[in-house]
Amino acid sequence: MKFGLFYQLPCSAEQSQPERYRETIEQIVLADQLGFDVAWMAELHFFRNFSIMPSPLMLAVAIAARTRRIRLGTAVTLLPFHHPLRAAEDAATADLLTGGRIEYGVGRGTIAVHFQGFGISRDESRERFEESLELIVRAWTDERVTYKGRHYQVDGIAVEPRPLQKPHPPLRIAANSPETAEFAGRKGYDVLVASPINPVPGFYEHIRAYRAALKAGARPDYAGDVAALFFVCPQTSRAAARAEAERSLLHYFRTIGEQALIGGRGQYEGSYAYLKQVRDRAAAMTYEMVDETMAVYGSPEQCIARINEIHRHSGIDQLVCWFNAGGLIPHRDVMATMERFAAHVLPAVRGLGGHG
């Protein structure tokens, strides 16, 4: 099994923006030394309490200069907000500058205020996403690109530079709605699934639906690679894990509600209906609910047992650890928790592999 870390970089009014970036870079430098495989960085916009990271590829390039082997992923690039040719150029440039370490996670976006800020209709998000994805892959692999879609038209353009990785950086789709999981499976893409959006036990059903779509799709013999995001906090005990994580965690769920308020009405229609459940769950969230359905918390032994249970039910290929959702756990404590995970949890579960 592989192990990743996840960052979306919330920054409260009391925190310093440069300091939050500095701490994130230091943590990923440590993760490289500790043997983590990938650092995943989210693209988010227009709401400081939730995130101050609109440009994860810029951060990836900065981190690459100070690390040796850890791969650097976007989780995810929000394709409707970028012209696909520019997105292809930026990711290819980052791949060159990081020595071929980019993992390109993509998604259509879910947050209403993002679409409002960029003046793009959410009703077009799926179409734009699917057109963009096709066009980006072609920009990386075709000598010249000609494309006629509803949202993008390109005529004989040669996109440079080319990515270092051939034929292109690994692609992964954030598949948190049923429709996107089905699309990713049908097209044979790897996925990233977030337990805060699809809590256990629904999480397991979601993975099964993706794998069923894979078998019926374009690459029926491909097993698919599932990266799964969970809140993670190995401590000396369950009580110690709660003492470390609870305040920051509940702050994270509060910011989801605050962000929804500025998004206004009409944001839970059509293929976004599932987000109303996510919002309502966030508003009613308790530490106990998180612990039970979307977290790997407790002593190292309890964390190992939990990861084994998740793998037994879903056969995930990568556990993406979110050590500081909410961003309020002090930097030194996050570093200590990462070291504890690498020393006492990771070696016991590294050998898990294959689908359960």
**Domain spans in the chain, listed from the N-terminal domain onward:** 2-349
What is the model's pTM?
Answer: 0.95
The answer to whether residue 133 scores a pLDDT higher than 50 is yes
pLDDT above 70 as % of the chain: 96
- Average pLDDT (272-282) is 71
d(CA 261, CA 249): 19
The predicted pLDDT at position 268 comes to 64
Domain spanning 2-349: CATH superfamily: Luciferase-like domain (3.20.20.30)
50-58's contacts with Cβ under 8 Å and 24+ in sequence apart are: 50/8, 50/10, 50/255, 50/256, 50/258, 50/259, 51/8, 51/9, 51/10, 51/11, 52/9, 52/10, 52/11, 52/17, 52/20, 52/21, 53/7, 53/8, 53/9, 57/90, 57/91, 57/94, 57/102
Q: What is the pLDDT of residues 12-70, one digit of tens each?
A: 999 999 999 999 999 999 999 999 999 999 999 999 999 999 999 999 999 999 999 99
**Over residues 80-108, mean pLDDT:** 98
State residue 282's pLDDT score. 79
Instruction: State the CB neighbour count (10 A cutoff) for residue 279.
Output: 17
CA distances 142 to 67, 89, 114, 171, 268, Å, are 32, 13, 31, 17, 38
- 259 band by pLDDT with thresholds 50, 70 and 90: confident
- Report which of residues 234 and 111 the model is more confident about: 234
Please, which residues bridge with residue 157 across strands? 145
